[in-house]
Amino acid sequence: MENMTNFATYTLMEPQEAKSYRYIYFTCFLFVYVMILFVNLWLSVVIVLERALHGPMYIFLCNLCVNDIYGTAAFYPKILHDLILNSYIIPSYMCAFQAFTVYTYVMCEYSILAVMAYDRHVAICRPLDYHSKMNTFSCSILLGFCWIIPFLIMFIAVFLSNRLVPCKNHIDKLYCDNWSIVKLSCGSTFVNNLYGFIFISLYFGLVIVITVSYIKLIIACKASLECRRKFWQTCVPHVISLINLTVAILFDTIYNRYGSSDFPVTLRNFLALEMIIVPPLFNPIIYGLKLTEVRKRILKLCMNCTKKMTV
């Protein structure tokens, strides 16, 4: 067994053929990051400025955009820095911070999607009770749940990981995640495994709850053309976001724990990055194009900005 050592830094996986194509990689990652910041900030600004978009559904959507900005900030600046300097080293404290941020981003994303599903369930299935159930107080409680619980869960997870003494310092991934840090330890990881199993089960249980909500919505929509129109307009984007995120997380979780080194590196990196690229980039685009009210307000704000620039 290797001697257990305290490492001040970790090394991350270098992107395949990075030495030859690192400037191309840098340009691609920079373009994606700028687009993510632009579409999420723009949609958030539209929702904040337009009083007509201050309803619960749009407030939850604004929180989804804020979470996407938060989650991507943990990855893109670091990978851009590494590609420019051609150095894939990260201090141990930054590695723990990156793992904390990526995991809290994913859990907040699930939580907000769950709250959005509940909001649509009440709006379509119990429209007369909507304003009493989705008032300012209840929305605040739901958003508090979306943000506080993931941070508490991951604070404990990172604390348990930092108690372990690593005997290796290479992380076979483009970014730090909690399970990769745990795997570097030569000591017992039983407590970490147990805790990880509990909170993974909790969040996949949340996926089941969301799925059941949508099944009930589909059944309720059969009776009314108006309900079907509402479902198609406001719920389909949620379903697309949920399926995309769930597939990415499911693969990442299974591979991290049971994956083989024979799995193609390029495909593994793509699937690991998918949850940091696709949801933050396409969520605001999907919602912005699909939700009529949002689309109208975006066009209105763009026209106002154009008029001010031409005056």
What is the residue-level pLDDT of the chain in tens, covering all 311 positions?
Answer: 445 555 678 988 887 666 678 888 899 999 999 999 999 998 898 888 888 888 898 899 999 999 999 999 999 999 999 998 888 899 988 999 999 999 999 999 988 988 888 888 888 778 888 888 899 899 999 999 999 999 999 999 989 988 888 888 888 888 998 888 888 888 788 888 888 888 878 877 777 877 777 777 777 777 667 677 766 766 777 777 788 788 878 777 777 766 666 667 777 777 778 888 888 988 888 877 666 667 777 777 667 666 666 65
- Report pLDDT for 1: 42
What pTM value is reported for the model? 0.88
Beta strands in 29-153 (DSSP E): 89-91
Please give the domain boundaries of the chain with CATH numbers for all domains.
9-310 (1.20.1070.10)
In the block, tokens 């590609």 appear at 83
84 in helix, strand or coil?
Answer: helix
Query: Quick one: tokens of 181?
Result: 């840090």
Beta strands in the chain (DSSP E): 9-12, 89-91, 170-171
| H or E segment to which residue 187 belongs | none
- Report pLDDT for 62: 92
- Report pLDDT for 223: 66
Contact 82, 30 (CB under 8 A): no
Contact 158, 99 (CB under 8 A): yes
Label residues 2-39 b or e (16+ Cβ within 10 Å = b). eeeeebeebebbebeebeeebeebbeebeebbeebbeb
Residue 147: phi and psi, rounded to 5, are: -100, -45
